[in-house]
């Protein structure tokens, strides 16, 4: 299996996992836990706490990776065989 097909297969695994009902609930929880909807900037005693902010950015990066996998799995550009089959069916 070439590298591109392998990446797409993994992205489809993410899609299958997080598009299921339980997976969608987990993803919603991860959006909260991983600061998907809120700022990652953390206050500290002397203003912004850079360490806590960077830690939160790391958590947020996990969520962004999952969302990128879901987008890759859903992107028609990554499914040229499927697109060609659909075009043939339209004729």
pLDDT of amino acid 80: 67
The boundaries of the domain holding residue 41 are: 3-78
What are the tens digits of pLDDT across the range 22-34? 999 999 999 999 9
Tell me if 44 is assigned to some domain.
Answer: yes
> pLDDT band at 65, cuts 50/70/90?
very high
E strand or H helix that includes residue 27: helix 21-33
State the pTM of this model: 0.78
- Flag whether 88 is in a domain: no
In a domain, 52, yes or no: yes
- Tell me if 90 is assigned to some domain: no
Q: Is residue 40 part of a domain?
A: yes
Instruction: Identify the residue with better confidence: 1 or 38.
Output: 38
Query: 47 forms bridges with which residues in the sheet?
Result: 44
Q: Examine the pLDDT at 85 and tell me if it is beyond 80.
A: no
What is the secondary structure of 31-74 as a DSSP string?
Answer: HHHTTSSS----EETTEE-HHHHHHHHHHHHHHHHHHHHHHHHH
Q: Tell me how many domains the chain contains.
A: 1
DSSP state of 4: H
């Amino acid at each position: 299996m070439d590298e591109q097909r392998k990446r797409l297969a993994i992205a489809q695994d993410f899609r299958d996992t997080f598009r299921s009902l339980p997976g969608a609930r987990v993803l919603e929880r991860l959006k909260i836990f991983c600061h998907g909807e809120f700022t990652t900037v953390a206050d500290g005693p002397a203003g912004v706490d850079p360490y806590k902010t960077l830690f939160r950015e790391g958590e947020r990066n996990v969520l962004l990776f999952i969302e990128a996998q879901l987008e890759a799995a859903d992107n028609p550009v990554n499914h040229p065989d499927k697109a060609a089959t659909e075009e043939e069916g339209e004729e």
